A and B are shown apart, each in its own frame.
Chain A
Amino acid sequence: MRRPYAVTTAVITALTLLLAGCSGGGGRDTEDGTVRLSFQSLAWQKESVDANKELVREWNAAHPGIQVDYVQGSWDNVHDQLLTAFEGGEAPDIIHDASDDLADFAYGGYLADLRTLLPDRLKKDIPQQSWSTATFGDGVYGVPFLQEPKVLIANTKILESSGVRMPTPAKPWSWAEFRQVTEKLTKKGAYGVAWPLKEPVSVTLNLGLSAGGQVFHRGADGKAVVRFGEDDQVMPRTVRDQVNSEGSAARTALGMGGSDTLPGFFGGKYAMVPLGFSYRQQVVEQAPKGFDWTVLPTPAGDGGLAQGVSPQTLSVAEDSPHKEEAAQFIDFLLRPANMVRLAKGDWMLPTGTEALADPALHTTENGWATGAALARALRPAPAQSVRGYPEWKDKVATPALQEYYSGAIDTKELKKRLVEDGNRVLARYQR
């Protein structure tokens, strides 16, 4: 009977020893007056994490009085995690997030207004259209620093052998031409394009800008209303027809996420896939040896190459006792050379004008030049500052667009749902 007791004692002793180092941390600043800042980064790809950590190390070496602790965050559940941290007064000083996640935090008073904290250099370096993605009311609550346009990643061999004109940012395809091209590229068992529309709303709204679409319109009273006019219908109608009447887009891809389409793309089943710019990294890693691919601009319409984006942002917590120091760190992190390092690490485009001019981002290798050429056309995602948008998206737009793209409902019914049902939802948030 003694053995079980011995085992129990051993287990309890081991656990006690393990827990000895488990108690909570102390205050932020050290006794010698050194300021300690915490920087929660959502970088996740190795190159990006390395770039962030390296920059933190460089800052800490150059600023012994202001030390930054790198905290690895996660895109998964980041909103709830930050909300809890804000409510509990334990938020990181410097917060990495995306502009479409900031509205609640900005209006809730959790984030510092950066207008007086940031240096002129940084303010001037980032274009106004990017600043507007992080502007809520009169304040600026984040520094937009990385952005990701949608591009067409294309199988060069299939496109060249079909004889279609290769589009460039200077001379992109129109939406009508794009339809013709995808029809021409469609052969038995192979499609001209695969639209991964598992999450159809943001793609529809963002690419809709190229045809002059807007969907959300602000009245004189500042309230947003949904409209779904001819311009808004160009992109969704094109996709619906490609899938349902022309057969030039793969129906099975409609329920896929971006990564899910890559095997079909590598296998020659899809000639093109519209994906975020950063997907190039996956293409580089996973493409079979000798696979020849290229990056093309998405089709243009009355709005040119315009498309909506929600840039990644850096913000400062309102509760931080060291807002100025936090802003100084952000300024360091986003110096042109550093912004280039972060952009390359994430395979995205920097927002800063100087960083964007860096020759490293204008090489034809891996399609950098095409993306860089699109940067000037990027606009704030249409819906990101609209209150009630998340509910409109989840309850109205997502099911309506899924049914529309699959051919279950027509444009009239889609419009009815997006506008009539949608405005009822928005009205509840804008009384």
Chain B
Amino acid sequence: MSLRTGRTARAGQYAALVCYLVFLAFPFLWLISTAFKPARELGSLHPTWIPENPTLDNFRQAFDEQPLLRAAANSLTAALCAALIAVVIATPMAYVMARHRNRLSTAATGWVVISQAFPFVLVIIPLFLVLKNLHLINSLWGLILVYVVWSLPFALWMLAGYVRAVPPELEEAAAVDGAGKGRIIVSVVAPLLAPGIVATGLFAFITAWNEFFFALVLLKTPEKQTLPVVLTHFLGAEGVADLGPLAAAAFLATLPSLVLFAVIQKRITGGLTAGAVKH
């Protein structure tokens, strides 16, 4: 490949990347723009990216009309607990699935994939009855249990992939040096698995943070409702919406995920690189 062709290809790659970034960012930027626009600008035939008369009224209205802080606290509790529990359960399971390949682990992997195919609507009534018998309806504990069960298959699958990426030779070397199984897992495997654990935890957190249907059905009293459920209170029948306050509240609801990504992203990549060097 000539130098010129290489440069052209590189320019094309950057152009594609920019297009992709714009594509990804467009809805979020539009959400921010809408959140700061007064109602009359929302009805404009020629909408602008930058609000002509930016206002915080939508935020004020959103907080006045709905208990956003309480809902955010509920969401945060449910999402953090679900992520923590899912990771704690999935990590040892994933290790066994990845390191001990036999019929059982193959069957387990297959079952994990199949379980992802069940739609919410299919499982909700039996699930509701089970939780009712456990006195976990209208309880954040019940919702957390559902989130853990719901995110566990994919978390398991994801973590098993990370475990497979850790070279078994490292464990063998540690064993040769006299380390026991527990020591190997804690001192050798776990540090290398850290980025995977964080990524899986992040996945479980975001799944739970954004989940709507289970929360709608399983939580009855306003005090327990989570953020996605409260956001729908800005929506009427047939898709009519109180657009300004909805955009303001939705913008605030996306912030925790963004902050979490921003904080953790460096550690994920850093951990991955560390693993690669050792390999």
Known contacts A44-B242, A81-B217; A88 and B132 CB within 8 A of each other? yes
- Decide: A23 and B217 in contact? CB cutoff 8 A: no
* Interface presence of B229 (CB below 8 A): yes
**Closest 7 CB pairs between A and B?**
A267-B45, A286-B43, A22-B140, A24-B139, A74-B232, A88-B128, A285-B39
Q: Complex formed: what's the CA distance from A258 to B236 in Å? A: 12
Which residues of B are found within 8 Å of A23, using beta-carbon distances? Answer: 139, 141
- Decide: B239 and A89 in contact? CB cutoff 8 A: no
16 contacts between A and B (CB under 8 A): A19-B77, A19-B140, A23-B139, A49-B65, A74-B235, A77-B212, A84-B124, A92-B220, A199-B238, A259-B241, A262-B43, A266-B44, A267-B46, A268-B45, A269-B45, A279-B240
Interface size on A, residues (CB 8 A): 53
Q: Which residues between 157 and 211 of chain B lie within 8 Å of chain A, taking CB atoms?
A: none
Q: Complex formed: what's the CA distance from A71 to B232 in Å? A: 14
Q: Complex formed: what's the CA distance from A46 to B232 in Å? A: 13
Residue of B nearest to A8 (CB): B84
Which residues of B are found within 8 Å of A9, using beta-carbon distances? Answer: none
Q: Complex formed: what's the CA distance from A177 to B97 in Å? A: 73
- Interface residues of chain B, those whose CB is within 8 Å of chain A, are 39-40, 42-47, 61, 65, 73, 77, 80-81, 84, 121, 124-125, 128-129, 132, 135-142, 212-213, 216-217, 220-222, 224-225, 229, 232-243
- Decide: A259 and B239 in contact? CB cutoff 8 A: yes
Of the candidates A72, A83, A267, which one forms a contact with B233 in the assembled complex, judged by CB atoms under 8 Å apart?
Answer: A72
Which residues of B are found within 8 Å of A169, using beta-carbon distances? Answer: none
Shortest beta-carbon distance from B226 to chain A in Å: 11
Contact residues of A: prevailing secondary structure: mixed
Contact residues of B: prevailing secondary structure: helix
Residue of A nearest to B43 (CB): A286
- Decide: B39 and A18 in contact? CB cutoff 8 A: no
Residue of B nearest to A264 (CB): B45
* Interface presence of A287 (CB below 8 A): yes
* Interface presence of A62 (CB below 8 A): no
Shortest beta-carbon distance from A306 to chain B in Å: 21
Task: Beyond A42-B237, A74-B216, A74-B233, list 19 extra A-B contacts (CB 8 Å).
Answer: A11-B80, A15-B81, A19-B140, A22-B141, A24-B136, A44-B235, A45-B236, A46-B65, A75-B232, A75-B236, A84-B217, A87-B129, A90-B137, A90-B220, A199-B238, A258-B240, A259-B239, A278-B236, A285-B39
Q: Complex formed: what's the CA distance from A76 to B61 in Å? A: 21
Shortest beta-carbon distance from B230 to chain A in Å: 8
Interface core residue of B84, B224, B229, B237 (most chain A CB under 10 Å): B237
Known contacts A49-B65, A267-B46; A276 and B217 CB within 8 A of each other? no
- Decide: B77 and A18 in contact? CB cutoff 8 A: yes
- Decide: A80 and B238 in contact? CB cutoff 8 A: no
Of the candidates B46, B65, B238, which one forms a contact with A258 in the assembled complex, judged by CB atoms under 8 Å apart?
Answer: B238
Of the candidates A11, A22, A278, which one forms a contact with B224 in the assembled complex, judged by CB atoms under 8 Å apart?
Answer: A22
Of the candidates A72, A198, A263, A278, which one forms a contact with B222 in the assembled complex, judged by CB atoms under 8 Å apart?
Answer: A72
- Decide: A75 and B43 in contact? CB cutoff 8 A: no
Which residues of B are found within 8 Å of A285, using beta-carbon distances? Answer: 39-40, 43
Shortest beta-carbon distance from A295 to chain B in Å: 17
* Interface presence of A121 (CB below 8 A): no
- Decide: A286 and B39 in contact? CB cutoff 8 A: yes
Interface core residue of B61, B132, B142, B216 (most chain A CB under 10 Å): B216
- Decide: B235 and A263 in contact? CB cutoff 8 A: no
Which residues of B are found within 8 Å of A45, using beta-carbon distances? Answer: 236, 242
Known contacts A44-B234, A44-B242, A267-B44; A22 and B220 CB within 8 A of each other? no
Contact with B along A32-57 (1 / 0, CB 8 A): 00000010001011100100000000
Shortest beta-carbon distance from A151 to chain B in Å: 15
- Decide: B77 and A22 in contact? CB cutoff 8 A: yes
Of the candidates B39, B141, B216, B221, which one forms a contact with A25 in the assembled complex, judged by CB atoms under 8 Å apart?
Answer: B221
Q: Complex formed: what's the CA distance from A282 to B61 in Å? A: 16
